[in-house]
Amino acid sequence: MKKNLNVVGESVLRNDVVEKVLGTAKYIDDYKFDGMLYGFTVRSTISHGKIISINISKAKKINGVVNIFTAKDIPGKNFFPMILNDYPFLAENKVLFYGQPIALVVATNQEIAKEAAKNVFIEYEELEPVLDIHYAMKKNSPKIFGSDNILRKYIIKKGNIDQGFKEADVIVEDVFETNYQVHSYLEPNGMIAVPQPDGGITVYGTMQCPFYVHDAIANILNIYHNKIRVVQTTTGGGFGGKEDVPSLVAGHVALLAYLTKKPVKLVYTREEDFHGMSKRHPGYIEIKYGAKKNGKIVAAKVRYILDGGAFATLSPIVLWRGTVHAVGPYDIPNVLIESFAVATNKVPCGAFRGFGQPQATFANESLIDILAEKLKISPLKLRQINMLKPYSRTATNDKISNSCGFKKVLSEVIKKSKYEKILSKKNENLSTIKTGAGLAIAFYGVGLGAGGKYIDRAGAYLQIQKDGTVIISIGNTELGQGVFTVISQIASEILGAPYEFVKVLQPDTTRVPDSGPTVASRSTLMSGNAVLDAAKQVRERIDTMVLKLFNKSKGKVYSNGKEYFISTNPEKKIHYLEVIKKCFVQRINLSATGWYTGEDVSFDSETGQGKAYYSYTFSATVAIVKVNILTGVVEVKKIVSGHDIGKAINPKLCEAQIEGGVIQSLGYALTENLVLKNGIILNPSFAGYLIPTSMDIPEIIPVIVESKYSKGPFGAKGLGESPMITPSTAIANAIYNATGFRTKKLPVTPEILLELKNKK
């Protein structure tokens, strides 16, 4: 009798692959509505200043311009809801960064709207910009946020830090810095708003969090939530860049449609997206470790600062995650972490895959290698001595008690990469090409954790149609990661319906309850469990019908994915479609709503102690590099990236997630170098901001370890973000192993390496 899973754990074909490969999928710029107008944003041309006047007279005379709106035309509140509520839809009296929206043009086509925007003239009184986080934190700096320019600060205190360092035989400390990173999604931000007969509005767009957008529109228009509908369109990538700021874009387009009574499209140019949309925070990390001679780390101290830019957006939560993970995946008895998100007159920073952890990981995993060298212990052995294990305690004193496959992940990655063999080779020959291996490990708290516990929920609606096909609505979005496929597999498995019968609809705020954001590797866990809940309700009714058809009053019903059978007579089967037909004849309800909330979590604001997350993903990466010491050019030859994800619902999709994260981290390590001068981005295009191409991608070996999480769907935890966190640091450590040049900044450009070489 078959009891194994039918579709969960199988690499079934993605259920959105055909439309994307054939080009029939409709992205936001493919949509058109009768009478549609086009919007364009008038932006600040300085980094900091007072607005003296806005002259729209010349722009309004351009043929095809319908109107131009400023902050005074907003009928509701002039900010979009996001933690501190400090970011205005349109600047009123002051501008705080180059590219900040000031006015909106609406015209009969995009070219006219763009031309008109150039002819809106703004007079400023320029003010001294605050461009450096250290200057921003000084008492005599201009204040652009509160009395100290600090958007948020946290502290974690565990044990006795002073005593810990007194007990240490060896102490190492250093300072590390990371630059911005641009999301580089292929599809820029864009929205269409369509006014409704009842005075409401429908917004279609490329986004990660339709319910954030829903709240933003209610704010700017001052209308009830039940008059607002937000519909996700096929989205060409997000990586965090379509979490917070689409609320701004949606607010703008909704305002234009509401005031003109016409459908309006607003799609950003790539340059606009660079200047106006959020980035990964630049990081500054002072870090210190104290260890015994045997390698046991007894104390860790971190001062972690993020450059938040002009407005808070998601900086408080990004900082929180980075703080919780700041000393790495290690069991250290004495910890002190102080962290700050600081306001500057630069582009606001927000969510980016990894969410504050890649910056911290670069510091802690680089310093681990430095400590290993000083102790004369191998970097691998030092990590094995100190890494989190079942029943270990994190920096917040959270006990690792449910799902920890860390040891196996590290073992598999080391074995597949031949790390120790490469590490032991000496580059003492005269060759200009040096080979090296680098290791980095991490843990990642799945979901929003204690920093976002009150929005950590998910809903789902499931319905079986008369022909046996299934439709599902969830609140999390498909960004290319394959969540619709995974959700279909979960539903198929529980219902006993063929996988190809299941269709997941694009998120729509009128179809499903607010399910929080599509971030933090939470979609499989949260929406998966919500769908599991709904599917189990329907399956219970199906099982009752199956037993009735077998003339049984009780018994366990099984499915092979197309037929049902019972434990007492496994040879006799009845087809799925026949059962569904009987259910409809008997007027059985084959629909249900599902709901899931995460486990309770906690974080003490004064000590930073508590159960910060309910589960963790564990990761290890080895990078093999070749470095030309004459030119400073680094070629990454191989990356082995391993992750304990609980359960791989779809192994091929998991491997694709790992490969994608590795490639993004490769860019973060070596080529993605955003350059700013006086707060202005100087390279706002892919001609100047270099992301990895197909020619740059090394051999990538994904490693999946399954240590089941008891409360995840079929044991699954999360995977989306963890592949981004460790590869950049593994590359940096490999460069040191190859050359002896320790870089303390990311990205590691050839110029930085040559500078290090010349200093040596």
Helix, strand, coil share of the chain (percent; to 5): 30, 25, 40
For the beta carbon of residue 226, count every other beta carbon within 10 angstroms. Answer: 11
Phi, psi of 91 (to 5 degrees): -65, 140
The alpha-helical segments, DSSP class H, found in 232-390 are 246-260, 270-276, 315-324, 357-375, 379-386
299 in Cβ contact with 290 (< 8 Å): yes
Cα(first)–Cα(last) distance of the chain, in Å? 69
DSSP code, position 633 = -
Phi, psi of 541 (to 5 degrees): -70, -40
User: Cα(601)–Cα(609) distance, rounded to whole angstroms?
Assistant: 11
The pair of three-digit structure tokens given for residue 374, joined into one six-digit string: 């000083």
Where do we find the tokens 């269709």?
503
- Is 652 among the domain residues? yes
- Is 554 among the domain residues? yes
**Do both 212 and 298 map to the same domain?**
no
DSSP code, position 301 = E
- Is 146 among the domain residues? no
User: Cα(619)–Cα(358) distance, rounded to whole angstroms?
Assistant: 13
- Is 148 among the domain residues? no
Single out the residue in 276, 310, 345 at which a domain terminates.
Answer: 276
**Do both 729 and 683 map to the same domain?**
yes
- Is 133 among the domain residues? no
Where do we find the tokens 């104290």?
290
5 in Cβ contact with 474 (< 8 Å): no
> Please, which residues bridge with residue 387 across strands?
330
Q: Please report which helix (H) or strand (E) contains residue 115, including its range.
A: helix 110-118
Q: Which phi-psi region, left, alpha or beta, contains residue 726 (left: φ > 0; alpha: ψ -120 to 50)?
A: alpha
**Do both 196 and 56 map to the same domain?**
yes
Task: Give the distance, in angstroms, between the CA of residue 18 and the centroid of all CA atoms in the same chain.
Answer: 26
How far, in Å, are 447, 481, 587, 751 from residue 337 at the CA level?
22, 33, 60, 32
Residue 591: give the domain boundaries.
Answer: 17-24+457-597
User: Cα(219)–Cα(216) distance, rounded to whole angstroms?
Assistant: 5
717 in Cβ contact with 446 (< 8 Å): yes
**Do both 330 and 346 map to the same domain?**
yes
How far, in Å, are 209, 256, 308 from residue 118 at the CA level?
31, 18, 29
pLDDT value of residue 428: 64
DSSP code, position 73 = G
User: Cα(598)–Cα(614) distance, rounded to whole angstroms?
Assistant: 8
pLDDT < 50 regions, the chain: 1-2
User: Cα(154)–Cα(150) distance, rounded to whole angstroms?
Assistant: 11
**Do both 695 and 644 map to the same domain?**
yes
Where do we find the tokens 């102490």?
171
In this structure, the strands spanning 563-566 and 283-291 are unpaired
Task: Report the b/e string of 710-745 with b at 16+ CB within 10 A.
Answer: ebbbbbbbbbbbbbbbbbbbbbbbbbbbbbebebbe
**Do both 49 and 95 map to the same domain?**
yes
What is the dihedral sign for C-alpha 208, 214, 215, 216?
A: positive
258 in Cβ contact with 221 (< 8 Å): yes
Of 538, 521, 514, which Cα lies nearest the Cα of 486?
521
For the beta carbon of residue 420, count every other beta carbon within 10 angstroms. Answer: 16
Length of the chain: 760
- 468: domain CATH number is 3.30.365.10
**Do both 371 and 434 map to the same domain?**
yes
The set of residues, in sequence order, having a beta carbon less than 8 Å from that of 638 and lying 6+ positions away, is 417, 623, 624, 698, 699, 700, 701
In this structure, the strands spanning 634-644 and 699-705 are parallel
User: Cα(735)–Cα(321) distance, rounded to whole angstroms?
Assistant: 28
The pair of three-digit structure tokens given for residue 130, joined into one six-digit string: 């605050």
Query: What does the H/E/C string look like for 220-270?
Result: HHCCCHHHEEEEECCCCCCCCCCCCCHHHHHHHHHHHHHHHCCCEEEECCH
In this structure, the strands spanning 264-267 and 228-232 are unpaired
- Is 56 among the domain residues? yes
Assign 659 to helix, strand or coil.
helix
- Total domains in the chain come to 3
Phi, psi of 479 (to 5 degrees): -110, 10
Task: Report the b/e string of 99-125 with b at 16+ CB within 10 A.
Answer: bbbbbbbbbeebebbbbbbebbebebe
pLDDT value of residue 570: 86
Phi, psi of 515 (to 5 degrees): -115, 20
- Is 226 among the domain residues? yes
What is the dihedral sign for C-alpha 200, 204, 209, 213?
A: negative
**Do both 580 and 667 map to the same domain?**
no
**Do both 484 and 511 map to the same domain?**
yes
The set of residues, in sequence order, having a beta carbon less than 8 Å from that of 256 and lying 6+ positions away, is 37, 39, 69, 104, 106, 193, 264, 266
Single out the residue in 575, 597, 619 at which a domain terminates.
Answer: 597
**Do both 298 and 338 map to the same domain?**
yes
Single out the residue in 259, 276, 293 at which a domain terminates.
Answer: 276
- 229: domain CATH number is 3.90.1170.50
The set of residues, in sequence order, having a beta carbon less than 8 Å from that of 428 and lying 6+ positions away, is none
**Do both 87 and 220 map to the same domain?**
yes
- Is 704 among the domain residues? yes
User: Cα(546)–Cα(580) distance, rounded to whole angstroms?
Assistant: 10
User: Cα(154)–Cα(170) distance, rounded to whole angstroms?
Assistant: 28
The pair of three-digit structure tokens given for residue 375, joined into one six-digit string: 């102790």
Q: How many helices (H) and strands (E) does the chain have?
A: 20, 29
**Do both 304 and 439 map to the same domain?**
yes
pLDDT value of residue 1: 33
Assign 37 to helix, strand or coil.
strand
